[in-house]
Structure 1
Amino acid sequence: KNYAPGFYAWLIPQKDGKAKVGLAAKTGNPKDFLRKLIRKHPTASKKLGKAKLLHAAFHPITLGGPIPKTYSNGFLAVGDVASQAKPTTGGGVIFGLNCARIAAEVAYDALKQKDFSSKFLSNYQKRYNKILDFDVKVMLKLRKMLDALSDNKIDEAISFCGKLGLDKTIQGMEDIDFQGRSLLRSLPKPRMLAALFYFFSLQILKTPRQN
């Protein structure tokens, strides 16, 4: 929470000696947090202390699930503008591609029927909700749990899951984008059940946000 409050930071090395460094934050100025991450983070600063910034980009990310209405007369909203991103990680490529495909199919049908009314185009939202709705609801719950954890509790949770070998279970998941379904399929595994019991034992949903 000192470097990326409400979210996380990343450092992705590349073959040519460059690296992608970034973070997201729910409060404050992300640019200031990025500068702090590069200069003061106990691990990142050692790797990036002599690095030269080549390019910087900033972009808002919505984590609340799709907006209530993504269609109107002659109009469909797709991708970031429709908040079609994962509430847990902020990633939206797979969700966006699925919704874009459905939007294209509905638009094609609208052209054939010569019907661009809001009522006809509402099929777009109905169809993508069938694909995304369950997973988004699960991820919103997970996001709420994560937001309620202090840094110390996050460290404890990661340590506990590591001891369980939960990383192996996660690596074995077939789908990391539709996380609700992946978790549901993993529930019978003892490691996952133990992890869920641990998280709920923390009474995360009732714990106030701490630093």
Structure 2
Amino acid sequence: MRELINNAEYDVVVVGAGPGGSMASYYASKNGAKTLLIEKSQEIGEPVRCAEAVPKMEDFGITPDPQFVRSHIKGGYLVAPNGKIIEVSGGKTDGYVVERKIFDKYLAVRSARVGTKVAVKSRVVDLEHNGNGYDVIVSHLGEEYIIKAKIVIAADGVESSVAEMAGLKSKKIPTQVCSCAEYEMTNVKLLDNEMMEFYFGDISPKGYAWIFPKGDTANVGLGVIDKHKKAIDYLNEFIEHPILEGRLKDATPIEFKCGGAPVGGPIEKTVDDNIIVVGDAAGQISPLSGGGIYLSMSCGSMAGEVAAKCIKNNNCSVDALIEYENKWKEKYYDTLMTELRYKNILQKLTEKELNALADAMDDKLEEVDVKKIAFKAVKNAPSLLKYFKEII
């Protein structure tokens, strides 16, 4: 391990071995850059902090494998406070629930097989610009080492200290971070073992609760933005909520997970000289659903490709690296900002207004037409009129 980080020199150093970081290192290595992937945990994939749903991994040339795929998901049920169920299928709801401990490790192994070196139990404690890139100061088993990198890719999650070290503003406002708590449970009675379930209302203020099938188990969790009560308290109440009609009565947890989802939209700048920011660190996560694995993988792929290109061209300036920011923004920025607008509206709605929206929807949907639903819902909840300008 020490030979990987002791006075070593790399073209690209990726910090964080989540899906975004592993995809970035994979494409950097595949395209010829000498690459190191650094992970602070002693085991890649630990701790798990999400509901583990991944839409269409085939888009990245990854074949769904039983070693990490636990369920094939074909859609989801949206459940209003009044109990109305809307079935949504296709699009982003079609995918898989994976075992992240195995899936993340698979992605790192995939990257290593094309040449990436991997350093675990290694924490970046500082960055110092040296004129030709960064000196990356890493702490490993109580000792500090210096690694030279022409490009650093910060994929270190919602807390992202690496981007801040490089002078980019990546700290998230607490009121824009969803606190998430989740049990993996057995003996769960599902509505359908190929459908996700989403519950809205006071069950989970400014967020939602979920039940995701996961093979012989299910992920049961929620995300909230609330100063008065912890996410785990809301979760324990949700498990016994009447809307579930006792379906979790015999369920028992086999694992507890918690974490934060930055749902305040992307950060302002995701590149500077010799630095790229990816995934949760960059706010590349759906403000509406809190889902970020697909976005992280996609943006990580772009980051790795652009980084390798800049290494080949011997130009790692912001003017060259901006290609990454232009690419991901062209593909995702407008969608993320639209979802942010809708999320901000949803967080203000009362249960009566949420019920009016649900009642305005068909029982089965393949596409959600927000404007059409809003026009129909306002008949039952005139108070929704005040949001029309933001919706339309």
TM-score, structure 2 normalization: 0.43
Identify the residue that residue 277 of structure 2 maps to in structure 1.
Answer: 77
Is structure 2 residue 375 aligned with structure 1 residue 197? yes
Identify the residue that residue 62 of structure 1 maps to in structure 2.
Answer: 262
Q: Give the superposition deviation at 1:63.
A: 1.2
* Structure 2 CA distance for partners of 1:5 and 1:128, relative to 1, 3 Å: same
Q: What letter corresponds to residue 237 of structure 2 in structure 1?
A: K
CA deviations 1:80-109 (Å, max 9, x no partner) are 111101111111122222211210111011
1:105 paired residue among 305, 317, 334: 305
1:133 paired residue among 333, 353, 370: 333
Identify the residue that residue 179 of structure 1 maps to in structure 2.
Answer: none
Distance 1:109 1:88 in 2: 33
Distance 1:82 1:50 in 2: 40
For residue 212 of structure 2, give the secondary structure of its aligned residue in structure 1.
strand
* Structure 2 CA distance for partners of 1:204 and 1:145, relative to 1, 3 Å: farther
Matched residues, percent identical?
Answer: 25
Structure 2 gaps of 5+ residues are 1-200
Q: Give the superposition deviation at 1:117.
A: 2.1
Checking the alignment, whether the CA contact within 8 Å between 2:357 and 2:374 is kept in structure 1 is no
Distance 1:193 1:71 in 2: 35
- Which structure carries more relative contact order (alpha carbon 8 Å, separation 6+)? 2
Distance 1:3 1:194 in 2: 26
Q: What letter corresponds to residue 236 of structure 2 in structure 1?
A: R
Is structure 2 residue 30 aligned with structure 1 residue 30? no
For residue 153 of structure 1, give the secondary structure of its aligned residue in structure 2.
helix
Identify the residue that residue 147 of structure 1 maps to in structure 2.
Answer: 347
Q: CA RMSD in A?
A: 2.2
* Structure 2 CA distance for partners of 1:68 and 1:196, relative to 1, 3 Å: same
* Structure 2 CA distance for partners of 1:161 and 1:93, relative to 1, 3 Å: same
Q: Give the superposition deviation at 1:14.
A: 4.3
Stretch moving more, 84-93 or 45-54: 45-54
CA deviations 1:36-76 (Å, max 9, x no partner) are 1113x113371223322111111111112211111233221
Structure 1 gaps of 5+ residues are 174-182, 187-191, 207-211
Q: What letter corresponds to residue 219 of structure 2 in structure 1?
A: K
Checking the alignment, whether the CA contact within 8 Å between 2:274 and 2:316 is kept in structure 1 is yes
Distance 1:96 1:42 in 2: 36
Q: Give the superposition deviation at 1:4.
A: 0.8
